Structure 1
Amino acid sequence: MKKSNFLKYAALCAFVVAIGFFAYMVNASKALSYLSSDPKACINCHVMNTQYATWQHSSHAERATCIDCHLPRDNMVNKYIAKAIDGYNHSVAFTFNTYKNAIQISDNGAQRVQDNCIACHASLSSQMVSNADVNHHYDDPSVATGRRCWECHKGVPHGKVRGLTTTPNALGVKEVK
């Protein structure tokens, strides 16, 4: 009988410790911030400081956050599926240090950004499509609408120089209140 009670208390204790460890990890990793639309969630990991700092000093900083450009805008389900996939890929890359100095966007992420550029700048992009034969050469078969916006607009919104050494120690990241 006493051995049975000991096992119950030991199991309960192990469960409480596991819950405590889980709560600690959620807090330490700022995991709940990734459910928000706050751009500061993107700099929880120091790897994204360059992207945050260059965006913060760009023309887009007052009009668009990270998720406005990098996540689907059609519905919440697609948005959170993309967030989960990107979050998993980022955590694996950052944990195992498998990313390059100059972080590059995935093909899926690039398509999302392209779609969002076109959606936000619909009046401009529709005019460009109508003048495509003069201004934009559609020679890349992997891009359905032709050239990607940032092929010409390299400085928007992350600047022309991108890499972990561009803004070391978060230099250039200003505190927004």
Structure 2
Amino acid sequence: MEDNNMDIEIQAPVDKNKMKELKAGDMVYITGTIYTARDAAHKRMSEALAKGEKLPIDMEGNLIYYMGPSPAREGRPIGSAGPTTASRMDKYAPALLDLGLSGMIGKGKRSKEVIDAMVKNDAVYFAAIGGAGALLSKAIIQSEVIAYDDLGTEAIRKLKVERFPAIVVIDSMGNNLYETAGEKYNLD
């Protein structure tokens, strides 16, 4: 795997062919529509699927950002918007990937089952920088709760983002920056 220092602009929703072009280590800027969902929303979606019910969002080509924002300050569409630990959604992610989810944004490692489902479905896992929620919120220009309002910060939100910064951590071939960086720098 070679180093790539080029920044890449992508439009969300994202075409699967575009996802196949992204490589672990790529810095991307996402513009368009993405959705938020955390543990409780994923559990509800899983329950809906088990009952044969329609999900509140169409997964095809979409990105889910694992995030629950703080309250918006006056004049802003959203408060601090930092990523949540992705592994908490691992038991739900393969089913959503099979429904066409193109990618996920979070922080931390993913399970082998999620990585296998990503490879099978040409999907990508992006990392957003933890601890930088206030900075990340500046790339969010619109926020609207679209499902599970009773969950508060864990409700599903539709976000309009402009140049939202993320790093491809696991690409559609299963290349994993957490592993390659660890090997490169002799990290445990």
TM-score for both structures, normalised by structure 1: 0.25
Q: If each structure's strand is expressed as a fraction of its own residues, which one has the higher value? A: 2
Q: If each structure's helix is expressed as a fraction of its own residues, which one has the higher value? A: 1
TM-score for both structures, normalised by structure 2: 0.24
Higher relative contact order (CA 8 A, sep 6+): 1
